């Protein structure tokens, strides 16, 4: 994680101070609009919270078997105060995703209805609530599918590097449950991850012994999407791996 991302995660809203001239309502109104614009314009950057939350969950899973790491983290808390513990420090960025909407609601409660400030706060609040839902969903996805995604990343490391592809949670555009219609019936339940540069298809109910042949890594530029059934939510993905147009294809049904 780079330094700007780290700064975004760990800076505390409480460390930001504002000063207003008493009775100067115009400055306060301007400040509200600026704060809301900051949340709206930077909301995409805040997706780094999803990456951090996933890493935080992984750390909690790893610590029981990593006594050396646990001892090092505990030793860093020389004061032995709870608020200085590694648990307290590391959970704060995750909690902040929930605190941002609370902050905006507090600002909203101080705004007069139907004013420009109230409307701007509402837009920012909707953005941050969507972000919080996104982070929660990515935590759930990580808990369920991270081992398989990591396996695909390792198995396709050379291929990904050659094609200039990457699997990064911040690049995730779409996640959905689908049915892969033209495979054996016992393996039709899938999840699809659409990243900016590639598509992942994984069995929905993954198992440790799940074979690689049931997983797919498809570069976006090599995939053609066709909607042949206008009356049904069915898409056909055509993987253009060779000069032969139908070298590989899958029909996906998207449950309503």
Question: Pick the residue with more confidence: 233 or 4?
Answer: 233
Report pLDDT for 17. Answer: 44
pLDDT tens for each residue of 67-110: 888 888 888 888 888 878 887 877 787 788 778 888 899 999 88
Residue whose structure tokens are 């200085």: 84
Set out the domains of the chain in order of their start, with CATH numbers.
3-143 (1.20.900.10), 156-253 (2.30.29.30)
Report pLDDT for 123. Answer: 95
Res 241 pLDDT > 50: yes
pLDDT tens for each residue of 197-213: 998 888 877 655 555 56
């Amino acid at each position: 994680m780079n330094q700007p991302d780290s700064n975004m995660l760990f800076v505390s809203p409480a460390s930001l101070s504002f000063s207003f001239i008493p009775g100067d309502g115009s400055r306060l109104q301007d400040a509200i609009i600026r704060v809301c614009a900051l949340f709206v314009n930077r909301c995409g950057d805040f997706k780094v919270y999803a990456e951090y939350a996933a890493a935080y969950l992984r750390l909690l899973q790893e610590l029981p078997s990593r006594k050396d790491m646990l001892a090092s983290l505990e030793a860093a808390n020389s004061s032995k105060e709870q608020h200085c513990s590694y648990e307290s420090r590391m959970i704060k960025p995750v909690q902040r995703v929930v605190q941002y909407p609370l902050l905006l609601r507090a600002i909203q409660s101080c705004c007069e209805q139907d004013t420009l400030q109230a409307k701007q706060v509402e837009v920012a609040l909707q953005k941050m609530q969507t972000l919080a839902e996104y982070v929660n969903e990515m935590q759930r996805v990580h808990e369920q599918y991270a081992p398989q995604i990591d396996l695909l990343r390792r198995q396709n490391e050379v291929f990904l590097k050659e094609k200039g592809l990457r699997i990064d949670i911040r690049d995730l555009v779409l996640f959905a449950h689908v049915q892969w219609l033209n495979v054996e019936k016992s393996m039709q339940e899938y999840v699809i991850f659409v990243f900016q540069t590639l598509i992942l298809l994984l069995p929905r109910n993954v198992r440790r012994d799940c074979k690689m042949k049931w997983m797919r890594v498809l570069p976006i530029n090599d995939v053609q999407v066709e909607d042949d059934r206008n009356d049904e939510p069915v898409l056909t993905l055509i993987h253009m791996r060779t000069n032969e147009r139908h070298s590989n294809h899958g029909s996906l049904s998207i449950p309503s």
